[in-house]
Chains A and B, each alone.
Chain A
């Protein structure tokens, strides 16, 4: 039992009196997340993802449709569900600034009904998993943002949730801290089988954490597939990167544009709907100057931006 959503809708009434109107924030979303999956839930601002997450965590009722998380209807049994899910919001803290994380964990353990022995065992387990044991006894205000987020993740995982909702968890972190945080989430999923639903505007989060991406826009699911497939199948363009021993002319072929060109390298974007990559490679390899070639997918940002522009199916 993971997450099951069928024909979920949510409308809001906005404005007053004559300007009163109904806005459809979620329009018939259906999706399914299996236990142990790592799924990115993406969409531009106002796409309906926050509303969907609120419904799935039980803090908002849907207008219509069905949803279960771990077999529980969230808005009917919010508190029961809360004991089995974890939530982490990048811009909100679960920890008390003047106290050590360990002191905050003591309070959260009581909130989640953990006894003293379970709390101690779980904190030790998380210190090991998140390589954060040395941070747990320092006042939170003295921690760097990256260190704090690892402690926040531990707070979110203290009660051993089966599903975690991570909302922009890496916002504000530096590159290294982001990378470390992503590794922790993947390790958590692989070691403990925790289902991860991640929302983020950072494409690298999606790339390094998620196995699958669900994209919503205008309140509806517009894409749902593996991240690798998303990258491969959705854009007809490829980037060809060439290392050169000597300058070469750019192949004069339709659908080929130059990203950059120097005496030692050449980067081209190839629209495979117009010209197959192979023709471009044949043209380049005809001369002796090419010493290295690689064909790569375009950046995921570009893929996602293209998906956002699609109409809802």
Chain B
């Protein structure tokens, strides 16, 4: 054998974190190299935000200047932020992960001495952060041009960490959902359902306050509002720092659930062969 390769300290948690950081950097590099698809995503974002914010501004104007406490300006900042949060994350992540479980890709990843889930989440975060980094300045310019200055700059500053939490929670939660592929071969239905829940109950298309009271109350109890509503409400000028605390709590839940699902799924794969 050649000389024994030196390794970093053997603490497995530290090793896993280092591996995740490397996966995040590498996938971000890959996403940056695919600038063409980033440009398409940005264009799509501009079109969607322009259209939706136009609809909401018209509705606010007809409604006497505001809807459920959101002015026309606030609604534009809301939509620019909620779309940024959701469009930064791959919409087909559940389906793609499900396919990787079904065709044995995940089994191959189990041959690495680190967490399969950790590497997958980190790699997806790398891609999402590149998209978010592109979307944020475009969103800022778009919202200023279309609606004017943000309703409350201090709240907008809080929207940045909130966006990061929203993206991370979304990516992690999608992995938790996708983990059902260890048991159910085709997770297309779960992917479709998840997306619709984020769109409506997550507050991507409209603020939760606009929903009927009962539906809004349910939506506030679900994790989806941490993925779009929280940063969007902050950007719309509501200085409510506890929204970030809620996001942290939902992220912790998503991490715990995803870990439990992947552990059980990997064990199942080992025991049954899939």
Contact = CB atoms under 8 A, between A and B. Distances in A.
Contacts of A13: 272
B196 interface: no
B119 interface: yes
Given A115-B8, A118-B6, A193 B1 contact: yes
B113 A107 contact: no
Interface string B1-29: 11111111010100100110111011101
Contact of B5 (A104, A159, A191, A193): A159
B113 A79 contact: yes
A285 interface: no
- Could you say which interface size class chain A belongs to? 35 or more
B269 A59 contact: yes
B18 A96 contact: no
Nearest to B24: A107
Given A82-B112, A107-B26, A113 B10 contact: yes
A137 interface: no
B108 A160 contact: no
A122 to B, nearest CB: 6
Most buried by B among A78, A97, A192: A78
B168 to A, nearest CB: 20
A153 B107 CA distance: 19
B33 interface: yes
Contacts of B213: none
A139 B113 CA distance: 26
Given A59-B269, A111-B119, A122 B5 contact: yes
A192 B2 contact: yes
Given A92-B105, A110-B18, A60 B273 contact: yes
B133 interface: no
Contact of A59 (B1, B29, B270): B270
Contacts of A112: 7, 112-113
A160 B1 contact: yes
Given A12-B272, A82-B112, A114 B19 contact: no
A160 B2 CA distance: 8
Interface residues of B, number: 37
A80 interface: yes
A286 B16 CA distance: 76
Contact of A92 (B2, B108, B269): B108
A74 to B, nearest CB: 10
A89 interface: yes
Interface string A132-174: 0000000100000000000000000001101000000000000
A112 B19 CA distance: 8
A300 to B, nearest CB: 29
A199 interface: no
A180 interface: no
B17 to A, nearest CB: 10
B7 to A, nearest CB: 4
Contacts of A115: 6-8
Interface string A77-116: 0111011010101001000111100011011011111110
A107 B30 CA distance: 12
A125 B269 CA distance: 36
Given A59-B111, A78-B110, A83-B113, A160 B5 contact: yes
B114 interface: yes
A279 interface: no
A98 B37 CA distance: 13
Select the residue from A109, A113, A114 with max chain B CB neighbours within 10 A: A113
A54 interface: yes
A97 B107 CA distance: 20
A79 B5 contact: no
Interface in A49-85: 51, 54, 57-61, 75, 78-80, 82-83, 85
A18 interface: no
A109 B26 CA distance: 12
A117 interface: yes
Nearest to A165: B111
Contacts of A217: none
Given A96-B26, A114-B7, A80 B2 contact: no
A46 to B, nearest CB: 14
Interface string B215-234: 00000000000000000000
Nearest to B27: A96
A120 to B, nearest CB: 11
A57 B111 contact: yes
Contacts of A54: 107, 273
A12 B253 CA distance: 35
A59 B273 CA distance: 8
Interface of B: 1-8, 10, 12, 15, 18-19, 21-23, 25-27, 29-30, 33-34, 105, 107-108, 110-114, 119, 269-273
14 contacts: A51-B273, A58-B270, A59-B110, A60-B269, A60-B273, A82-B111, A99-B29, A107-B22, A111-B113, A112-B7, A114-B5, A115-B7, A117-B6, A121-B5
- Shortest 6 CB-CB contacts between residues of A and residues of B: A110-B22, A98-B33, A82-B113, A107-B26, A113-B7, A107-B22
